[in-house]
Each structure stands twice: as C-alpha cells, then as structure tokens.
Amino acid sequence: MRRDTPGDARPRWTLRPRQQRTLERLLDGGFAPLHGFLGRADYDSVLLAMRLADGTPWPFPVTLDVDEAFAVRLDAGSRVLLCDCHGTAVAWLDLADIYHPDHLRELRLLYGQMDRRHPVAVELLRHTGAVYLGGRVRDLRDPARGGPAMDVVGDGLRLWGGPVGYAWAIEVGGGSRLLH
C-alpha cells in the first residue's frame, strides 16, 4: 500500500497569504459545509445563484487559484501538496477539477459594476491566477500542537507523534484517540 507523505514527489503549491487563510477556514470548519475548494459546477452556481450546485446556500466562491505553468502539470484525480510560505506541508488537495474562470464575469456577478481601480478588482484581475483548482482538502497539521502530521495512511486515517514525552494520536474517520 502506498503512503502519501509530505516527502512525496507529487506537485507542491506554496500558498500565498490569502490562500493560506482560506485553507485554514476550510480545515477548521469555518467554511462548513465546504470540505475543499469549489469545483466548476459549484463555482458557477455560487456566482449565478449564491448556492452550491446541490442547492445549499453559499454566498461567495472559495477558490484556489494557480498559474498556468503549474496547472499544466496536473490531472484531475491527482493530489497536490499545499504548503505554507515556509514550505511546511499543511494539507493535501484531492484534485477533482481544473478550470479557467472568467475573472471579468466573476467580478461583474459578485460585485456588479465596479471601477477596475478598486482594490478588490485589482486583486482579482491582476493578482489572481488564470486557473482554479477544485477538490477536497485533507489536513496534515497536528491539531494538538499546530505542527505537521507524522504520517498519512490511506483515506481517513492519520497518525501523529512527537519526540519522547509527547503523546501519539490516531484519527480514524474524523474521531481522535490518544495513544501512549
């Protein structure tokens, strides 16, 4: 069985500060019921109706933008390691969707007629990547200490541990148990 660990040779994306804050909200449940970045169907539905594709009310797109050079190396169904600005692995993205949004359309639908010099417009039109990635995120942080997980094994199973004197923990399907 293959283990998915931060040392993998899989694609790595270093998150910009705004992206990292968004990821933290996804991981800590602040964006519940979302479990990841929006795929194309949810993104379009949110822009048009302020609802996810399944009808759940949702007010704004939660997206992960990347540049074209990074996106061409990816395929839907693969995994992307998401790292903070220090290079520390924070989460996996189980990539379900890769798409090219129309930033002008997004700006118009979200904010109506807005001066392109407005900071929101500048951010979206000049500093947002040309490609959005959608998919579920998997936390690699140790919730007890804020550090990276020691190992990720399979779907829904995580093991954490530390130096001598620290507890070991295991998580299976969302519930945690301390091991000694």
Q: Does residue 61 fall inside a structural domain?
A: yes
Same domain, 63 and 127: yes
Do 52 and 77 lie in a common domain? yes
Report the domain count for the chain.
2
Residues 148 and 136 in one domain: no
DSSP string, 138-162: EE-B-TTTSSB-SEE-SSSEEEE--
Give yes or no for a contact between 84 and 17, defined as CB atoms under 8 angstroms apart: no
Q: Please report the pLDDT score of residue 130 as a whole number.
A: 95
Query: Residue 168 belongs to what domain range?
Result: 144-180
Q: Decide if 7 is inside a domain.
A: no
Q: Are residues 80 and 107 in the same domain?
A: yes
Q: Is the dihedral of CA 109, 14, 26, 45 positive or negative?
A: positive
Question: Is residue 26 a part of any domain in this protein?
Answer: yes
For residues 130 and 148, membership in a common domain is answered with: no
Are 82 and 42 in the same domain?
A: yes
Q: pTM for the full model?
A: 0.74
Same domain, 128 and 153: no
Domain of 108: which CATH number?
A: 3.10.400.10
77 lies in the same domain as 164: no
pLDDT, one tens digit for every residue, the chain (180 residues): 344 455 556 799 999 999 999 999 999 999 999 999 999 999 999 999 999 999 999 999 999 999 999 999 999 999 999 999 999 999 999 999 999 999 999 988 988 877 888 888 888 888 899 999 999 999 998 655 444 444 444 444 444 443 333 334 444 444 444 443
- Is 24 contained in some domain? yes
User: Is 4 part of any domain?
Assistant: no
1 in a domain, yes or no?
Answer: no
Give CA–CA dist 115/44, Å, rounded.
23
Same domain, 29 and 93: yes
For residues 134 and 150, state if they share a domain. Answer: no
